[in-house]
């Protein structure tokens, strides 16, 4: 029998969170085993091979939906189709980048030709434009395009350039929220399901997000919180809490990204700005579609990361 490793070791070995591993299982991409006398997930050699395949495909920015299609297919047709579409997308992006390069180079030539005088501000503008020109034209690259290290480097740089532009900064006001008790999605008839049914019946009455999903106080648990309004009829099993609110960096997941990938986007933004993660407040998730809209479901989800200015 293959040697089994714990979820914590799997997480450390591949530098992904346990939450992400559980997400892959929920999506049917990965399998773990559990025994009656051991509560934690364990992974065998096949699971290790599968996670390596998943991580390579995610580095290529292949969606979770398409990865599942690839794994479910018997032959190579699906993977060839998916990778073919990815090549087309890359070609489109290369064309756009070349167009951008041409625009910036034209801008540089216009600055060189203009008579701005000898002011210090103009000198700094010229030096900055020349720096951009050098970075665009003198791109050095040695190595094999199939090298996974180079793949990680390239995709990481592209993510920092493009994805951080999609972060929204939101200052959520302090307010009262209704909170469920801790629950696990693996349980039947859990507090979370009862909470979900309760707020599905409530009208949408605020321009702010109505509800959030966060980590519970116990390991491997979650909890719902929902905006409270005066006079709301709250079931006895739920409690009304004070929500501190504050500043959040919001990353929109429109391609079934894992929380681990949204953390990378957030971290890249924090590096480029004078902010840091606020550890005193919890991370939250908000399903953009309303609970009544079953067609959209989890296809779009906002991840809310509490932040604060660096001292």
Residue 184 pLDDT exceeds 70 = yes
Q: What is the pLDDT of residue 142?
A: 47
pLDDT of 82 higher than 60? yes
**Mean pLDDT (whole number) for 183-203:** 83
Residues 66 and 82 in one domain: no
Distance (Å, whole) CA 38 – CA 41: 8
pLDDT at 136 over 60: no
Q: Are residues 186 and 241 in the same domain?
A: yes
Evaluate if residue 94 carries a pLDDT over 50. Answer: yes
Say whether both 102 and 234 belong to one domain: no
pTM over 0.75, yes/no: no
Considering 2-6, 46-50, 261-265, the range whose residues carry the highest mean pLDDT is 46-50
172 in a structural domain = yes
- Indicate the number of domains in the chain: 3
- Kindly state the percentage of the chain with pLDDT values over 70: 72
Contacts of 192 (CB under 8 A, 6+ apart): 180, 183, 185, 222, 223, 224
pLDDT score of 42? 85
**Together in a domain, 189 and 299:** yes
Instruction: List, for residues 254-301, the tens digit of each pLDDT value.
Output: 655 666 677 777 887 887 777 899 999 989 988 776 655 555 555 678
Is 114 in the same domain as 67? no
How many angstroms separate the CA atoms of 263 and 20, rounded? 11
The domain boundary residue, chosen from 72, 92, 127: 72
58 and 133, same structural domain? no
d(CA 164, CA 162): 6
- Residue range(s) defining the domain that contains residue 273: 168-309
Instruction: Kindly tell me if the per-residue pLDDT of 174 is higher than 70.
Output: yes
Q: Are residues 305 and 184 in the same domain?
A: yes
CA-CA distance, 35 to 270, in Å (whole number)? 41
Name the residue with higher pLDDT: 255 or 59.
59
Write down the pLDDT at residue 177: 94
Whose structure tokens read 């504050």? 246
pLDDT of residue 303 exceeding 70 = yes
- Structural contact between residues 190 and 201, judged by C-beta atoms closer than 8 angstroms: no
User: What average pLDDT does the structure give for the chain?
Assistant: 78
> What is the domain-level CATH number for residue 67?
1.10.1660.10
| pLDDT recorded at residue 141 | 44
Same domain, 210 and 112: no
Residue 155 lies in a domain: no
Please, which contacts does 279-287 make with residues 24 or more away whose CB atoms are closer than 8 Å?
280/306, 281/244, 281/246, 281/306, 282/214, 282/215, 282/306, 283/214, 283/215, 284/212, 284/213, 284/214, 284/225, 284/248, 285/212, 285/213, 285/214, 285/259, 286/209, 286/211, 286/212, 286/213, 287/211, 287/213
Q: Which of 142-156, 188-202, 270-284 has the lowest mean pLDDT?
A: 142-156
Residue 187 sits in the same domain as residue 64? no
Residue 121's pLDDT band, with cuts at 50, 70 and 90, is low
Mean pLDDT is highest, among 109-123, 242-256, 280-294, for 242-256
Is residue 45 included in any domain, yes or no? yes
263 vs 48, more confident = 48
Looking at the chain, the whole-number percentage of residues with pLDDT higher than 90 is: 18
Question: Per-residue pLDDT for 1 more than 50?
Answer: no
Determine the average pLDDT of the residues in 18-41: 78
């Amino acid at each position: 029998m293959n040697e089994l490793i714990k979820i914590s070791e799997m997480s450390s070995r591949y530098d992904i969170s346990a939450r992400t591993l559980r997400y892959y299982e929920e999506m049917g991409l990965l399998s773990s085993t559990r025994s009656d006398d051991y509560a934690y997930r364990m992974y065998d050699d096949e699971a290790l091979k599968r996670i390596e395949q998943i991580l390579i495909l995610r580095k290529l920015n292949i969606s979770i939906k398409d990865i599942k299609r690839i794994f479910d297919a018997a032959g190579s047709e699906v993977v060839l189709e998916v990778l073919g579409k990815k090549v087309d997308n890359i070609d489109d992006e290369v064309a756009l980048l070349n167009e951008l390069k041409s625009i910036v180079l034209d801008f540089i030539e216009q600055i060189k030709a203009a008579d701005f005088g000898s002011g210090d501000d103009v000198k700094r503008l010229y030096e900055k434009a020349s720096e951009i020109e050098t970075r665009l034209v003198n791109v050095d690259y040695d190595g094999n395009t199939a090298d996974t290290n180079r793949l990680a480097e390239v995709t990481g740089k592209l993510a920092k350039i493009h994805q951080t532009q999609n972060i929204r900064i939101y200052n959520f006001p302090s307010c009262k929220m209704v909170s469920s008790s801790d629950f696990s999605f693996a349980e039947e008839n859990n507090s979370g399901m009862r909470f979900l049914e309760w707020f599905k019946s409530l009208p949408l009455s605020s321009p702010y997000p109505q509800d959030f999903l966060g980590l519970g106080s116990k390991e491997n648990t979650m909890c719902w919180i929902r905006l409270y309004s005066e006079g709301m009829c709250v079931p006895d099993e739920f409690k009304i809490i004070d929500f501190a609110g504050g500043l959040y960096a919001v990353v929109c997941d429109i391609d079934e990204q894992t929380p681990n990938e949204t953390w990378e986007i957030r971290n890249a933004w924090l590096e480029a700005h004078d902010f840091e993660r606020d550890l005193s407040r919890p991370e939250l998730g908000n399903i953009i579609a309303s609970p009544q809209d079953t067609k959209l479901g989890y296809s779009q989800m906002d991840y809310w990361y509490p932040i604060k200015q660096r001292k």
